[in-house]
Structure 1
Amino acid sequence: MEKYYDVHNHLFNKNFLAKELLYRMIKELKKLLNIHKERGLDRGPDRGLKNVITSLRRFIKAIRVFRRKNSTAVYEELNKTYQGEFILTPLTFDLTYCFAPSAERDMDETPRSIAKEAFEDEMKTMFEDIEQEVRSLSRDFNPGAEESDDNLWKEYLAEKNRFMEESRDFQEPEEEREPESDTRGLFKRRTEFDGWNEQIRQIEDLKKHPEYKDMVFPFLAIDPRRKNITEYAMNNVGKGKLFVGIKLYCPTGYSPTDPVLFGPEGERGGIYSFCEDNGIPVTTHNSDGGFATLAKEVKVTGLIQVNGKLHQLNDEMLKFSTAIHHKNAIYERALTLNHPLLWEKVAEKYPNLLLNLAHFGGGSQLKLALENPDNKNLWTNKIIDLMKDNRYKVYTDVSCFTDFDIIDKLLASPVYPEIKPRILYGSDYTLLLLFEDNFEENVRQFKEKFGADFDVIARKNPKEFLKHVI
């Protein structure tokens, strides 16, 4: 039988992006806590603590997957569900500058990440916030607490300790390794704070695996601030090369129209020109959540979006109104650096660029758009307009979706038949494990909900998206 495609997945392991993944977990727990607070604890502190316990247990299971010895082992874990039925396009990450302490573009080749410090700070404040809200359940703080509440508190402490124990392995310094060849990355030597070379090495090993080499076609993560990245991409991305596509993540601190990507003003050039000329697909994170730069200000060249209008910055400092610990910080950075209005400018200049605006804007944005189809200012409605415009080759994917009520709304919407040829299936594994307790059930739900159209989004459309490189 012809294979399916999962066009959005990650094969991270503890030897790279370990601290960054832990940081992402803690941000999700803090988001849950903020939602709980905004509801005025109307469901009671016991309900809130039960949700925290459930999340901690899910994260512990995710950590155990992340702890696999390498990306090949993570692929094998994923394949327990896929059973060889899916071709994967693993997306790599470059979060070096996201966690860098400086906003400057020109930094040393091995900038010291603050991921470890960020994780520890976020974790400390998060557990303090949780315990401040729910300590009344404990007889240690409230002698009159019910026995069932006190038992719930003890259950929480046990899961917290398990989480701390499981995550400890991620916080150990990474083993330094000299690259075996000059093709395995851009740095001569890895450091404790940069797993870039290790990520490339593991992807290369997976791609060379005799059983899996025809099942995985990786995408190279590009951050325009990384030195020599254009040369590296042109040498290593394309049909028959280690990478077949490009992955971008603009909220980490750069504009979609950065000259390294967009080329000179009024002229073709840069990464997009290279991709358009060679049929190389580009997948970009495009939701209102996820990772975002920890810096309060970043130096940007390119367009930004503010209040529905685009502004050009030329090697200028972009100052955010919120610090990264603020609950709206990631949303602000996404709006400013990753809004579909910015990607419209990319599509206009490079109409034949195969562009996947991943995540459909995110579940909450998709829900809002489906409920308000006439509001063209909404994030996902902008994506839909780009997908419907036949001048462009803009796609989206449904990766990292766990709320299938929203999928039901999408399938029942009048716009679905019109945009169906531009929707791609993606899982977002392993990051999906932060939100989903049962990956196998998630895949089953997608197949059931889409029915015969699962062949469209997981076979026909991905083959079109990848036709020049696979």
Structure 2
Amino acid sequence: MTNNQPSGANNALKSISDYHFHAFNKDVLTVRTIYLIIRALLNRNNASPTGTQNKSTDFLEELLRIRNFLHIGFQENSIDVFNILLNDYKQKGYVLDTAIPLMFDVEYCFIEATSQGETNIHDRVISDLKNRFSLLKEESNNEDFGAIQNFLNTLNIDGDDVLSFADITTRSFENQLNDIKSLKTKYPTTIYPFFAVDPRRPNVVQMAKNAIESKNFFGIKIYAPNGYSPLDPTLLPLYDYCQQHSIPITAHHSLGGFASFANSLNIYGKIYRNGAIVDPQNPVQFEKLFSPGWIEDRANTLNHPKLWEQVLLLFPELRLNLAHFGIFSDANTIKDRYSWTDYVAGLMKTFPNLYTDLSCYTSTDDLKYINNHYLNDPIIGKKILYGSDFYLNMLFIDNFKQYLTNFTNILGPNFDKIVVNNQQFFAKQPAALKNI
């Protein structure tokens, strides 16, 4: 073992790579945290869209998971967050030999299109969240809110303190860059970060190239539901650059996750609407923020696999990971749940460098389905990657030990195979990059 390997590594530990995790700390976390708390309460107190009431036990389980999520996310820096992940793997007998932290550009989630142009809705969204939080807090007989405050107290975090962190999101991108660089410096032979690119950020393509060529970053992260098309003209030169130099791109690709807070957006590049790829008529209108299906609406419009197919037709050798294998966790039927999955699987047979990953697969049923339908396919099975989506996966499962146990027990020998696949998708030092 080299001196640069994580402390605690020894010959009894089995090497593993995690090609999809997050180490962002409280500077990035806050808005999502507030939303999660409010969602937990509203889901508990209101009828669901199907007309059923969430059970108290489900609510309490969600609270416990939010608490675990907060415990990790409110660490002081990315090194502290990563050390938790290292220890969790160690407890299961693994040492991380390669880990890819993915950045997340939350700042542009607050840009909304209006008749007068574009405006920053950060203060409005934060005010709305604060109002929702305060209204729930005023319900003095609400035992559920008491439970939330109790677990915030265990973290030495008051509800008002959580809200006070929200303003930090306006400078989260710079904070992430500094934090990730520190993490890379601490673990130079283990950490290989991916740089978040939002085409609305000024000069972002050149920033990304500089980050790659400085050897601080080794890939690109795209998150289209945050408010842009993967076919945005600003992104096309970046795709060309990545194709030329075999730079890997990981793109969030499911109907869940996170999305823009804007109800209307100016979109440049094609979108998917009403079953077809079309040119947008700006401003594009979306389901109202926090209404049922608001995230799915943005994801379907801005991140549909048919949009990514158009990207690959332009750049057929692009090294691309459409993360999460297109899962739709809230679907009501098997056909709907895996509709994107099936489409991506077809694309993987056509484009040689298209991959997917099983990050945040906390459902044993999903793991069984993927194992039975795809992992033994001679082409697709070689292009499915392993990632944890730590620590976002902690919102959906009780602990990391259980997450990893599910993979090893359900996938069996196929688990080792998808970890090996990681090496095909990502080279620590792409040959073409040496000549840049």
Could you say if the C-alpha distance between residues 91 and 12 of structure 1 is closer, same or farther in structure 2, counting changes exceeding 3 Å?
Answer: same
Pick closer, same or farther for the CA change 1:70–1:372 going to 2, 3 Å.
Answer: closer
Structure 1 residue 401: Cα displacement? 1.3
Aligned match of 1:171: 163
Q: Which residue in the other structure is 1:62 paired with? A: 69
Note closer, same or farther for the CA distance 1:325–1:78 as it changes in structure 2 (3 Å cut). Answer: same
Does 2:146 match 1:158?
Answer: yes
Supply the distance in 2 between the matched residues of 1:82 and 1:22 (Cα, whole angstroms): 25
* Structure 2 partner of 1:148: none
Which TM-score applies when normalising by structure 1?
A: 0.78
Measure, in 2, the Cα distance between the counterparts of 1:465 and 1:126: 46
- Residue in 1 that maps onto 2:81: 74
2:224 is aligned to 250
Matches within 5 A, 1:263-282: 270-282=237-249
* 2:108 counterpart SS class: coil
> Against the structure 1 CA distance between its residues 172 and 53, is the aligned structure 2 distance closer, same or farther, given a 3 Å change threshold?
same
Report deviation, 1:99. Answer: 2.3
Q: Is the 8 A contact 1:36 1:48 kept in 2?
A: no
Choose which of 220, 233, 240 in structure 1 pairs with 2:195.
220
Q: Relative to 1, partners in 2 of residues 1:334 and 1:99: Cα closer, same or farther, differing over 3 Å?
A: same
Gaps of 5+ in 1: 141-152, 176-190, 263-269
Structure 2 unaligned blocks of 5 or more: 1-10, 431-436
CA RMSD of aligned residues (A): 3.1
Q: Residues 157 and 236 (structure 1 numbering): CA distance in 2 closer, same or farther, change over 3 Å? A: closer
Give, in whole Å, the separation in 2 of the partners of 1:464 and 1:90: 18
Distance 2:116 2:180 in 1: 27
Q: Which residue does the alignment assign to 1:298?
A: 265
Aligned to 1:99: 110
The residue type equivalent to 1:213 in the other structure is P
Contact 2:112–2:263 (Cα < 8 Å) also in 1: no
Alignment pair present for 1:439 and 2:397 = no
Residue 25 (structure 1) aligned with residue 2 (structure 2) = no
User: Aligned with 1:61: secondary structure?
Assistant: helix
AA paired with 2:273? V
1:241 partner amino acid: K
CA distance in 2 between partners of 1:283 and 1:31 (Å)? 33
* Contact 1:303–1:313 (8 Å) recurs in 2: yes
Determine the structure 2 residue equivalent to 1:317.
283
Deviation at 1:67, TM superposition (A): 1.2
Q: Which residue identity lines up with residue 163 of structure 2 in the other structure?
A: Q
CA distance, structure 1, for counterparts of residue 336 and residue 172 of structure 2: 42
Hey, what does 2:313 align to over in structure 1? 348
1:394 counterpart = 2:354: yes
Quote the offset at 1:221 in angstroms. Answer: 0.5
Change beyond 3 A, Cα 1:260–1:398:
same
- TM-superposition CA deviations, 1:433-465 (whole Å, max 9, x none): 11111111111221222222212111x211111
Q: Distance in 2 between matches of 1:252 and 1:194?
A: 17
Do the aligned partners of residues 67 and 451 (structure 1) sit closer, same or farther apart at CA in structure 2, a change above 3 Å counting? same
| 2-structure distance, mates of 1:413, 1:366 | 18
Structure 1 residue identity aligned to 2:129: F
Instruction: Call closer, same or farther: CA 1:5–1:64 in 2, change over 3 Å.
Output: same
- Candidates 208, 217, 222, aligned match of 1:233: 208
In the alignment, is residue 337 of structure 1 matched against residue 269 of structure 2?
no
- Say which SS state the counterpart of residue 193 (structure 1) adopts: helix
Q: Is the Cα contact below 8 Å between 1:60 and 1:163 reproduced in 2? A: yes
Q: Are 2:19 and 1:7 equivalent residues in the alignment?
A: yes
Q: Of residues 416, 427, 436 in structure 2, which corresponds to 1:467?
A: 427
Distance 1:39 1:331 in 2: 17
CA distance in 2, matches of 1:236, 1:111: 29
TM-score (structure 2 length as normaliser): 0.84
Distance 1:412 1:297, change over 3 A: same
- Please report how far the alpha carbon of residue 87 of structure 1 lies from its aligned counterpart in structure 2 after TM superposition: 1.6
- Write the deviation string for residues 255-297 of structure 1: whole angstroms up to 9, x where unpaired: 00001112xxxxxxx1100111111111111111111111111
The residue aligned with 1:120 is 130
User: How far, CA to CA, are the matches of 1:24 and 1:272 in structure 2?
Assistant: 33
Q: Residues 284 and 414 (structure 1 numbering): CA distance in 2 closer, same or farther, change over 3 Å? A: closer
SS in 1 for 2:347: helix
Q: How many residues align?
A: 409
Q: 2:274 aligns with which of 286, 295, 307?
A: 307
Residues 279 and 21 of structure 1, relative CA distance in 2, 3 Å threshold:
same
1:365 and 1:380 in contact (8 A); partners too: no
Partner residue of 2:413 out of 452, 457, 460: 452
Q: Distance in 2 between matches of 1:168 and 1:223?
A: 31
TM-superposed CA distance for 1:417, in Å, is 1.9
Is 1:359 aligned to residue 324 of structure 2? yes
Q: CA deviation at 1:116?
A: 3.0
The answer (yes or no) to whether the contact 1:294–1:324 under 8 Å persists in 2 is yes
| 1: CA distance, partners of 2:409 / 2:37 | 32
Contact kept? 1:360, 1:366, Cα under 8 Å: no
Secondary structure, in 3 states, of the residue corresponding to 2:412? helix
